[in-house]
Amino acid sequence: MSFYDSAVPAYLQMLASLSAILDKAEAHVTAKKIEPEALLGSRLYPDMLPLSRQVQVACDQAMRGCARLTQNEPQSVPDTEKTFGELKQRLAKAMDYVKGFTPAQFEGADSREVTFPIGGGKTTTMTGQQYLSSFSLPNFYFHVAIAHGILRHSGIEIGKRDFLGAS
């Protein structure tokens, strides 16, 4: 399996599933006459990010992961989405961005050094393999899973099949 195949399909599968569960969430709030902002601002715990931010960070992780592994500058996207429609647009743009990478761009990425910020003005460096398996994908899956958990906890009828999406 190529390194491209280890990254790009995983990002795309989960971004698509996240988009599909947002559709279900939007239908739910419409049917139940719930203010969308109430669900978009929901958190699993007060010190955790709200649903809208979980979606934004998942998109960022996928785009940054591909960019860094292919030695491209990660795209900066402002976090301005306030509606389900805007979040779905962000997901679509993230998927288009990830789809724009080619297998050739990932050649050698597993052993290539990836340097990235870790907060507090500090950076760290890992091999591409370490970056993908120990940082990028775990962070990505975390935010997708938390978004799914927020929606499930809020009464949206979704389950593991929705999380996994079409594979």
Give pLDDT, residue 1.
Answer: 80
**HSE-up (13 A, CA, CB side) for residue 119:** 0
- The DSSP bridge partners found for residue 125 are 115
* Correct CATH for 3-164 of 3.40.50.2000, 3.50.50.60, 1.20.120.450, 3.40.50.10470: 1.20.120.450
- The DSSP bridge partners found for residue 127 are 113
Q: Which tens digit of pLDDT belongs to each residue from 7-24? A: 999 999 999 999 999 999
Provide DSSP, 19-68.
HHHHHHHHHHHHHHT--HHHHHT--SSTTSPPHHHHHHHHHHHHHHHHHH
Place of tokens 């509606």: 83
pTM above 0.75, yes or no: yes
Residue 138's CB is within 10 A of a number of other CB atoms, namely 11
Give pLDDT, residue 167.
Answer: 55
Q: Which two tokens stand for residue 151?
A: 């929606």
Of all residues in the chain, the percent with pLDDT exceeding 70 is 99
Q: Is 84 helix (H, G, I), strand (E, B) or coil?
A: helix
Q: Which tens digit of pLDDT belongs to each residue from 24-34? A: 999 999 999 99
d(CA 119, CA 77): 18
Residue stretches of the chain with pLDDT short of 50: none
